[in-house]
């Protein structure tokens, strides 16, 4: 599975792409002589055919009494014997003090100039044979008690011995979710073998969640857990890749063509099914590209377009634009816009109000265009009108109230639980998948009814001045329909 990420181009738009990380071979130092170079190449080939059976913690394992001694294991490979023979013949040929026609071999072996080469050849042959020789007894597994604490299974941690209430609270403070939800997520990931094989899956998951929930960089976290930053980054990228691809459709349900008015109990506006927002996610970059900067904020960012319902549950999420792009342009690049404007989304049920057919719609602010499936407040039109419209004011108040109870607290919870979204310390190639992964984790917490702790997790972005969006020429027909729908909703609300 390839990683989903960003690739900057010579434009103001960021698009999805594939991120490959090839490992390039490191060449041997050119300063070595050709003879030593060929010897090393031969030994490298031999070792690649017979990989050593070693472990980074083998020193911690005591020698078994049934383990064969070094003398019984030292069976030199035939290719090494041939290599040694070739080296001796080559030394005889190159050594000016030896006589190649002499029938006495001791003259070659006892030549002072042959000692370094013979010593190197013998040492290489013996060490390689010790590494590559098959063992009659398999290497004993390392008990968890002898493994470093940071590489031992998380189940061996004392946190597992706590009472359930204390354990859940501890898990939430360390990993952002409860003990039961942690295990549920782990079971969902295990069939996909998401993490490096040399680290227990529960430990790898805990490292990735610690970084996402605490917002620290891999370098800072490495000093706490005594593990390489590269390993922590690898665990984090593996988790976010799976969450943003494989598990996304399981926990972020796309809007169906036929949407029920289940939110009618939470708003007086009929057929309102969710609200939409464009939220900037700050990037921690030393030298950001100009397309990531916006006049409205003093930091580089990318945009998260999200739709949430009254449960504060995300039903759509999209990260396709840098911070310099306005929300309306980001919307028009999304699949939500393409499907809804073509009649493939938000089509049923239909409500008749004052002779006007009202299909399901979303609540937006003034930064979005007025569309049949996305209604915005009257506020901009009221500013140019000398008369007050009580029905318009009632509609705006109802729309604003619904947004304050759905998408706004959903974003506040998202960035409150997963603090990495407050200052995203990953590369630009991994920004999109990290943001979407946190959206998936948020929905998992909402489904599991994780506590919101009375605002403890809420995070509010600095307020920004909204720039009213304008409809395009190609959208005028949709704008006229949306204006009629909005008028009908306002009149119906005022009449009631």
**Euclidean distance between CA atoms 152 and 252, whole angstroms:** 33
399-428 pLDDT per residue, tens: 999 999 999 999 999 999 999 999 999 999
**Euclidean distance between CA atoms 213 and 317, whole angstroms:** 19
User: CA-based angle 110:115:118, to the nearest 5?
Assistant: 105
Helices 115-132 & 78-94, crossing angle to 10 degrees?
Answer: 170
Q: What is the pLDDT of residue 289?
A: 87
471-495 pLDDT per residue, tens: 999 999 999 999 999 999 999 998 8
Helix, strand, coil: what percent of the chain each, to 5? 50, 10, 40
**Euclidean distance between CA atoms 104 and 115, whole angstroms:** 17
* Residues of the chain above pLDDT 70, percent: 65
What does residue 317 show for φ and ψ, rounded to 5 degrees?
-150, 145
pTM for the full model? 0.71
Beta strands in 283-431 (DSSP E): 301-308, 314-322, 351-353, 356-358, 361-363, 374-375
Residue 430 has pLDDT above 80, yes or no: yes
Q: Which string of DSSP letters, residue by residue, matches 234-276?
A: HHHHHHHHHHHTTTHHHHSPPPPSB---GGGGG-SSTTEEEEE
Residue 160 has pLDDT above 60, yes or no: yes
Beta bridge partners of 282: 301
28-65 pLDDT per residue, tens: 344 433 433 343 443 343 444 444 444 443 333 344 44
Q: What is the pLDDT of residue 56?
A: 40
Q: Measure Cα distances from 71 to 47, 74, 129, 301, 364 in Å.
A: 20, 5, 11, 63, 78
Query: Cis bond leading into 195, ω under 30°?
Result: no
Q: What is the pLDDT of residue 1?
A: 37
291-300, 332-341, 420-429: range with lowest mean pLDDT: 291-300
């Amino acid at each position: 599975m390839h990683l989903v990420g960003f690739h900057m181009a010579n434009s103001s738009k960021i698009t999805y792409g594939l991120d490959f990380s090839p490992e390039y071979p490191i060449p041997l130092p050119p300063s070595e002589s050709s003879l030593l170079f060929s010897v090393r190449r031969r030994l490298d080939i031999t070792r690649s055919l017979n990989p050593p059976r070693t472990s980074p913690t083998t020193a911690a394992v005591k020698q078994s009494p049934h383990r064969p001694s070094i003398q019984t294991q030292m069976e030199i490979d035939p290719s090494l014997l041939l290599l040694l023979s070739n080296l001796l013949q080559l030394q005889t040929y190159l050594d000016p003090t030896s006589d190649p026609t002499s029938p006495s071999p001791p003259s070659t072996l006892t030549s002072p100039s042959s000692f370094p080469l013979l010593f190197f050849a013998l040492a290489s042959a013996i060490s390689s044979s010790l590494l590559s020789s098959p063992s009659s007894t398999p290497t004993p597994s390392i008990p968890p008690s002898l493994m470093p604490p940071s590489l031992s299974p998380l189940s061996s941690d004392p946190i597992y011995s706590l009472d359930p209430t204390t354990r859940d609270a501890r898990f939430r403070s360390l990993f952002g979710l409860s003990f039961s939800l942690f295990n549920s997520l782990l079971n969902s990931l295990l069939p996909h073998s998401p993490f490096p094989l040399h680290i227990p899956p529960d430990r790898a998951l805990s490292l990735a969640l610690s970084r996402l929930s605490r917002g620290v960089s891999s370098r800072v976290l490495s000093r706490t857990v005594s593990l390489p930053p590269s390993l922590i980054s690898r665990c984090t990228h593996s988790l976010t890749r799976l969450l943003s691809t494989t598990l996304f459709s399981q926990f972020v349900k796309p809007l169906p063509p036929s949407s029920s008015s289940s939110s009618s109990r939470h708003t007086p506006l009929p057929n309102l099914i969710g609200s939409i927002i464009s939220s900037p996610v700050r990037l921690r970059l030393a030298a950001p590209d100009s397309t990531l900067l916006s006049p409205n904020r003093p930091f580089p960012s990318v945009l998260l377009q999200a739709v949430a319902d009254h449960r504060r549950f995300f039903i759509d999420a999209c990260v396709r634009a840098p911070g310099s792009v306005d929300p309306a342009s980001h919307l028009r690049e999304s699949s939500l816009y393409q499907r809804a404007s073509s009649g493939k989304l938000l089509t049923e049920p239909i409500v008749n109000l004052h002779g006007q057919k009202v299909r399901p719609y979303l609540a937006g602010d003034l930064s979005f265009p007025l569309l049949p499936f996305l209604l915005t407040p009257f506020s901009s039109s009221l500013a140019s009108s000398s008369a007050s419209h009580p029905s318009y004011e009632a509609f705006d108040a109802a729309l604003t109230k619904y947004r304050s109870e759905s998408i706004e607290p959903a974003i506040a919870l998202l960035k409150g639980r997963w603090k990495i979204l407050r200052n995203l310390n990953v590369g630009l190639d991994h920004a999109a998948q990290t943001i979407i992964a946190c959206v998936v984790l948020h929905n998992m917490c909402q489904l599991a009814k994780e506590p919101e702790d009375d605002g403890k997790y809420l995070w509010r972005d600095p307020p920004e001045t909204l720039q009213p969006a304008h409809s395009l020429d190609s959208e005028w027909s949709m704008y006229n329909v949306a204006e009629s729908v909005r008028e009908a909703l306002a009149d119906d609300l005022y009449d009631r």
